[in-house]
Amino acid sequence: MSTLLKIDGLQASYGHAQALFGVSMAVDAGQVVTLLGRNGMGRSTTIKCLFGLLAAKAGNIVFGGQPLAQMASHQIARLGLGLVPEGRQIFTNLTVEENLVATARAPRAANQLEPWTLQRVYRLFPRLQERRSNLGWQLSGGEQQMLAIGRALMTNPRLLVLDEATEGLAPIIRTEIWNALAALKQEGLSQIVIDKNVGALLKLADRHYVMERGIVVWSGDSHKLRGEPEIIHQYLGV
Ligand SMILES: Nc1ncnc2c1ncn2[C@@H]1O[C@H](COP(=O)(O)OP(=O)(O)OP(=O)(O)O)[C@@H](O)[C@H]1O
Ligand SMILES: [Mg+2]
């Protein structure tokens, strides 16, 4: 399996407060990988560095064979990285359909996946089709989350990164989102998923990285993690 993303020795700070102390992780093509950890352990900070939203102090990030150092976030996105950010951040004064097309992008030549269209997003999330003319602020939290995922898919990413995509949602909506992520994996879309629902992640993901105070303290596949429940207890507090 070929490596799609490799992060090595990543360090980052907010002012004088260092948040990452050498994070290393990798995603192979077609894999789903998780970043696990309690609040404030550096998961979102890792993602901010990956997307060029926070400058790394040290370390390397290579995506699809290309080093991302010094690249602006719009250039990074263009390489095929799609972000579903913490807090969704949809455009509340645009309609569902306007949100979906606002940042849409044609697939790059290197991208072998089936191209995304409005119809394909609506097939994945039928609720969005029903709500297509509604403004962002008129949507429920779950619909906003589906929209954030649909908007990221419309950029035709090779790697989809979801930061707390089921946070605060009703169980039935969470299930719909987990099913959508499983369907996307079936179609070959690589993903990094940050979430507190370890049960769902054990089923969906191939590999897990557990973070504690800005470093990766454990990594392994779902089989290994299932066999070490003390890791889940110690580092995730569940
Ligand atoms: N904008 C910011 N300014 C200063 N410090 C920050 C900022 N964002 C995060 N931090 C700090 O960096 C550390 C890592 O935070 P990060 O947001 O990466 O955590 P996380 O693992 O995503 O957890 P959660 O999302 O549950 O808070 C924490 O100590 C946090 O307080
Ligand atoms: Mg976070």
Ligand 1 pocket: which of 11, 13, 14, 47 to mutate (most atoms <8 Å of CB)? 14
Confidence class of residue 180 from pLDDT cuts 50, 70 and 90? Answer: very high
Helix H segments across 164-205? Answer: 171-186, 198-204
Residue 71 neighbours by CB under 8 Å, 6+ apart: 52
Q: Give the C-alpha distances (Å, rounded to integers) separating 226 from 28, 203, 218, 237.
A: 21, 10, 13, 15
Rounded to the nearest integer, the mean pLDDT of the chain is 95
Query: Is the CB–ligand 1 distance for residue 45 below 6 Å?
Result: yes
Give the total residue count for the chain: 238
Confidence class of residue 108 from pLDDT cuts 50, 70 and 90? Answer: confident
Query: Is residue 137 a contact partner of residue 185, using CB atoms and an 8 Å limit?
Result: no
Atom of ligand 1 nearest to the CA of 42: 18
Range of the domain at 99: 3-236
Looking at per-residue pLDDT, the higher value among 229 and 163 belongs to 163
Query: Is the CB–ligand 1 distance for residue 17 below 6 Å?
Result: yes
Query: Is the CB–ligand 1 distance for residue 222 below 6 Å?
Result: no
The DSSP code for 108 is: P
Query: Is residue 136 a contact partner of residue 89, using CB atoms and an 8 Å limit?
Result: no
List, for residues 2-55, the tens digit of each pLDDT value.
Answer: 999 999 999 999 999 999 999 999 999 999 999 999 999 999 999 999 999 999
Q: Give the C-alpha distances (Å, rounded to integers) separating 43 from 49, 76, 83, 208.
A: 10, 19, 14, 12
Confidence class of residue 70 from pLDDT cuts 50, 70 and 90? Answer: confident
Q: Is 95 exposed, middle or buried (0-12, 13-18, 19+ CB in 10 A)?
A: middle
Dmax (CA) of the chain: 48
- The pLDDT value recorded for residue 109 is 78
Atom of ligand 1 nearest to the CA of 35: 21
- 224 Cα: distance to centroid of ligand 1 (angstroms): 28
Ligand nearest to the CA of 211: 1
Cβ atoms within 10 Å of 222's Cβ, excluding its own: 18
Q: Is 233 exposed, middle or buried (0-12, 13-18, 19+ CB in 10 A)?
A: exposed
What's the total number of domains in the chain? 1
Ligand 1 pocket: which of 43, 49, 164, 212 to mutate (most atoms <8 Å of CB)? 43
CATH at 143: 3.40.50.300
Distance CA 222, CA 230 (A): 14
